[in-house]
Structure formats: C-alpha cells, structure tokens
Amino acid sequence: MPMDESVRKAVLAAVPSLRAFAISLCGNVDRADDLVQETMLRALANIDSFQPGTNMSAWLFTILRNHFRSEYRKRRREVEDTDGHYADSLKTQPEQLGQVEFREFKEALSRLPADQREALILVGASGFSYEEAANICGCAVGTIKSRVNRARTRLAELLQIDGIDDFGPDEQTRAVLAGGGE
C-alpha cells in the first residue's frame, strides 16, 4: 500500500496524543497501544473517506473513540481498572506536583463516568475545541460543555476542594503548593 507522505507524517504525528487519549479511555498502556494500532489500520484502510483540509488528528481521534466504544466498552468492568495503570505509563512524576496529590488526582479521574472523562480529556488536555470534541463524540456542543462542567465539579468533589487552599490531601502538599505555585 503506497502511502502518501503527508498522510504518513500526519498519522505518525498524531500517535503520541492518540496514545495519551487511549490510555485515558481504557486505563491500560498495552490495550491503549493496541487500540492506537487498530485505529491506524482502520484509518489507512479508509483514507479515502478522510476529507483533505480537515483536521486529521480529530478524524483519528474519532476512529479511535468509536472503535473503543464498539469493541472495548462491553468489557468495561474488566477494562476500566484505571488505578495504577496510568502510573505505569509515566516515566516520571511531573515534578511540580506533589506525588500524593498527583496520585489522588489520577484516582479521582478514573472514577469519573466515561462520558465525562472523555469530554474533559478532549477539551482540557488534547486541546480540542468544544465543537471538535462534540464531533469526535458524536453529540451536541452543549452536551460536551455540560459533561466537562460536571467532570470538573465531580473531580473537585472527589478531591474535596473548593478553593486552592484546600487543594492537596495534606498539610505538607499544601505547603509545597503555596511555596512553589506563586
């Protein structure tokens, strides 16, 4: 299958963020990589349906998300054991964050409903607009906005924060944040 060089580049360029998205969906690095690979195969097999000039990354995210929904979600209970798996994927803990705080954040994220988590990741981490995220998830823009808002509120509840002073599970983390954040 001879491949247009621009297609090859665009697909490879999307791989790092596709992996990050896939890990956030299925909570497991190995499954996420399989999901990304299956996404690439599907995308290349259907490259004719890609409209040149539109966002290749958003198209690939849509394929990945739909594939995950159809193939993986029936195994949801098995698949969504996110605890710890994200940690496995991380080479290092981001240094500016307290480790306890960061672990609690990941646990809280894994406890969000899948719809809310995916909306929050697409908008808050992948950098898609609300409209792009709505296209990827096949729903209305208002639905995405509401999911993102509920996700943030739920995260804050799970982490028991209602102000930056409360962010962080213990005095020590709070002190680090207060000292290092300004």
23 contacts other proteins (rule: CB under 8 A): yes
What is the amino acid identity at position 179? G
161 contacts other proteins (rule: CB under 8 A): yes
Contact 61, 24 (CB under 8 A): no
171 contacts other proteins (rule: CB under 8 A): no
Distance CA 66, CA 150 (A): 22
Footprint (CB under 8 A) of other proteins, residues 91-110? 91-92, 94, 96-97, 101-102, 105-106, 109
CB of 74 to other proteins, least distance (A): 25
Q: Identify which range of 40-48, 52-60, 67-75, 134-142 contacts other proteins by CB under 8 A.
A: 40-48
Q: CA-CA distances (angstroms) from residue 105 to 13, 52, 68, 84, 90?
A: 28, 38, 24, 12, 14
47 contacts other proteins (rule: CB under 8 A): no
Q: CA-CA distances (angstroms) from residue 120 to 24, 124, 126?
A: 10, 5, 9
Taking the least distance from each CB to other proteins, the nearer of 35 and 134 is 35
146 contacts other proteins (rule: CB under 8 A): no
